[in-house]
Copies of this chain bind each other. A is one copy, B any other.
């Protein structure tokens, strides 16, 4: 593994911490959010835009890129060269999209079979196959294939999922080890994923099993997948003290400002979610006073920027009234300006969160932001 992680500061009143992750010649300060470049582009944006905001690490989706454009990416030397992204890249395993997007999917011996949502073609993902694909994609962090059950899964489904997730985790580690011996997966790091639904016992068991394997980082999967926010937070608080200090901890697919606050409090380092850009495309802007719906008529004559404290490309020059006009007029420019703003807002939120941890004041940061209705 080429990834180095170092914890830097620890909050005195919570498990919140700052850290620095070195990989691919890049230093990533944690806690941090990763924008999602689903199909080798964060929607409406390009690599310049992400650099301008300050991001150093983004995510791309294996399921999407495997189906389209597929092997073409190999001839370009991987996703990073394909999109000319000079920062670091994490790819997911594709498993989550198989269950949320594929036209059909079923577990078969060794993996999961599915039909493409694009053309109905049949494919098989195994723990080994998704590492091969991520090898082709050239990401700096690869995720293992796991079985992420829905939030309302019963105990049989949950135990079944754990067995499969753990078996696949061991196979992944072995396949990765063998690959490295053969000169493959150079400078690519492998993260494990713990599951367990909302059952604290299963959660501890899974985390312990995953942390016993030589992963460069540990992810918590299967949260924020339909369970109540109460259950979500209960599990987070249960897991917090059990998370390995030496490795980066990644809460997958999360999400919202209150969820970030809760998870940072429990010691989480990394996040990813499509919400800031998806909300942007629905006309929503994040501000230090909460979310704004730019489709509301109240903004028609507003000459204020989206957020008066924001210095993003959109806020430096454009008003709420202008963005609202562009939205109503169906102009793509509006979606882009809001995407830039929202991702800058997320970046800045994590900068402020880190500063509060450095000062030993995370809990007052937490309280302050929890009061805002996000």
Give the docked Cα–Cα distance between A116 and B48 (Å): 39
- In the assembled complex, the Cα of A69 lies from the Cα of B329 at a distance in Å of 9
Contact B322 A83 (CB under 8 A): yes
A331 touches B76 (CB 8 A): no
Interface string of A28-45 (1 = CB under 8 A from B): 000000000001110111
Instruction: Known A72-B301, A335-B332; judge A318-B46 contact (CB<8 A).
Output: yes
- A82 adjacent to chain B (CB < 8 Å): yes
Indicate if the CB atoms of A332 and B39 lie closer than 8 Å. Answer: no
Q: Considering the chains assembled together, what is the distance between the CA atoms of A132 and B64 in angstroms?
A: 52
Contact A336 B332 (CB under 8 A): yes
Q: Is A129 an interface residue (CB 8 A)?
A: no
Q: Are the C-beta atoms of B76 and A45 separated by less than 8 Å? A: no
**What separation, in Å, do the CA atoms of A317 and B41 have in the docked complex?**
14
The complex is assembled from copies of this chain, and their number is 2
A321 CB within 8 Å of chain B: yes
Name the one of B64, B69, B303 contacting A300, with C-beta atoms under 8 angstroms: B69
Q: Is the CB of B301 within 8 A of A41?
A: no
A121 adjacent to chain B (CB < 8 Å): no
Contact B319 A44 (CB under 8 A): no
Band of interface residues on A: 35 or more
Closest to A325 in B: B69
- What is the chain B residue whose CB lies nearest that of A86? B317
Give chain A interface residues in 266-319, CB to chain B under 8 Å.
300-301, 303, 313, 317-319
In the complex, what residue of chain B is closest to A326 when comparing beta carbons?
Answer: B41
Chain B residue nearest to A77 (CB atoms) is B303
Supposing A46-B336, A332-B335 touch, asked if A40 and B318 sit within 8 A by C-beta, the answer is: no
Task: Report the bound CA distance from A260 to B197 in whole Å.
Answer: 65
Q: Which 5 A-B pairs have the closest CB atoms?
A: A84-B317, A39-B329, A41-B333, A44-B332, A69-B325
Given contacts A44-B336, A68-B328, A72-B301, 8 further A-B contacts (CB under 8 A): A39-B326, A39-B331, A40-B322, A43-B333, A46-B318, A48-B317, A69-B321, A82-B322
